[in-house]
Structure formats: structure tokens, C-alpha cells
Amino acid sequence: MLSPGEFVPFYAQIGAKKCTNSAVRLFLAAVLAGFLIASGAVAASTASYALENPSLARVAAGLLFPFGLIMVVITGAELFTGNCLITISLLERKAALSGMARNLTIVYLGNFAGAALLAGAMALGGAFSNEALAAYAVRTAANKCALPFGQGVVLGILCNILVCAGVMCALCGKSVASRAVGAFVPVSFFVIGGFEHCVANMYYIPAGLLAAGYSGAACPPALSLAGLWANLVPVTLGNLLGGCGFGALIWAAQRP
């Protein structure tokens, strides 16, 4: 595997390329990433919704959700939270701030599209005809919508430190197995810790809204389109701070 010191110039080139990719390619790769992260959320929810022990439910989700990031890394998809590492390219003077902002904006929109598409497909496919699963989806989404702003920022920071650590560990690997293990462990930790990931929430909250509509489950007041943005704004801000901060720390500590 690459050493941390070797990773900095290696990723600086990757991030620079991300900033110059065409908008269409970025968006399509971001839709794929949103779908893959949402797939991890689907697996985590389906495996844990019937578990009464909350600790066991967290562990079950933590063992399954990370496969979404593993697929993102292996397929070369574009993930907003992981792309906060472009901070390394910025500090290495391989990319401009405008290029990083362009990448993150396009990728964020594409991630949203991919995650929301899977939420819609789950509803149309009849997943929420399962009343217990629908109730779980509604409850999960409502809790996220009711999260206080400051708490959302802090949980977002903690989450993306681990996600970016997972991306770094995965990219340091030189085989599929080492990349998978590198991505798995940090992401598993963030899920078990209950931290907040904006792209995952782009699935969880629309899924909760659709589950309430399709199943007739009671919809809590917090669960609404306004609640969606009330969650995404602080969590996205926290993810940016955590991811960019992690990238800057690795650059400062490990640059050649």
C-alpha cells in the first residue's frame, strides 16, 4: 500500500483531474455514487429495522452500509463527501478553489439525484408495503429532520473525518481486497457511532416521506420537505468542515 507521505502527491493529481472533468461526466458519476451509497442505506435499514436491541441494530447497519463506499471507490464514482479531499490538491497548488467548488456543486446535485431515485424506486417496487419497514423509514427520517442545527454540524464533522479516512485508506491500497478493507472500517465506525452523512440522508429522508405516503403510516410534523433541508444544510456544512479539515491535516502532517 501507499504510505501516507506517498498518498499526498498521489491524491493531489487525482483531485486535480476531478476538477477538470466535464460537467456531464461528473454528474453521471455522481448519480452512480448517490445510488451506491443509498444501496448501502437500503441494506442497512432492511437488516436492522426488526431488531429491538438498538446496539445490535447499529452494529448490523455498520456491517452493511460501508459496502456502498467500497463500490464507489472501485467503480470510480464521484462522492461529495469523499471529494472534500480535493483540499489536498488545492494546498498542493494542483487545483484552484473555483475548480473544487465546481466539482463539489455538480457532484452534490448528482448524489442527490442518485439517492432520491433509489428512494423512489423502493417505493414504486413495493418495499414500503411492509408496514414495519415503512414505520422504521418514517421514524428514521423524522429523527433526522428534527436534529438541532448545531448537533447536525458536529455529527456531520465527525462523519466526514471518518469517510475521508476511509477514502484515503482505500486509495492507499493496491488490490481490491485492501481497498475494500480500507473503506470498510472507518465507515462502519461512523454508522455505529450515529454520525450524519449528507448523501445517505438524501436517501433516508425522501424514503421516509415516500414511506409515509405509500403505506399510510403516520407522518410526524418534523418530516417534510422543509425538514429535509433543515437536516441537509447543517449536515452538509459539517461534512465540508470535517472532510476539508481532514484533508488539510493529512497534507500538513504528511506532505513530502
Quickly state the pLDDT bin for 219 (edges 50, 70, 90): confident
Q: Which pLDDT tens digit goes with each residue over 5-41? A: 999 999 999 999 999 999 999 999 999 999 999 999 9
- The reported pLDDT for the residue numbered 255 is 82
pLDDT in tens, 57-105: 999 999 999 999 999 999 999 999 999 999 999 999 999 999 999 999 9
Predicted local distance difference test score (pLDDT) of residue 66: 95
pLDDT, tens digit, 9 for 90 and up, residues 164-183: 999 999 999 999 999 999 99
The predicted structure's pLDDT at residue 213: 81
* Average pLDDT of span 45-65: 94
Dihedral over alpha carbons 215, 220, 225, 227 (to 10 degrees): -140
Which is nearest to 39 in space by CA: 63, 65, 61? 65
Q: What is the pLDDT of residue 82?
A: 97
Distance CA 202, CA 65 (A): 14
**Which band of pLDDT confidence, cut at 50, 70 and 90, is reported for residue 125?**
very high
Q: What percent of the chain has pLDDT over 90?
A: 92
Question: Do residues 71 and 39 lie in contact, with contact meaning Cβ atoms separated by under 8 Å?
Answer: yes
Q: What is the pLDDT of residues 233-247, one digit of tens each?
A: 999 999 999 999 999
Identify the band that residue 215 occupies on the pLDDT scale cut at 50, 70 and 90: low
Q: Can you give the pLDDT at residue 214?
A: 77
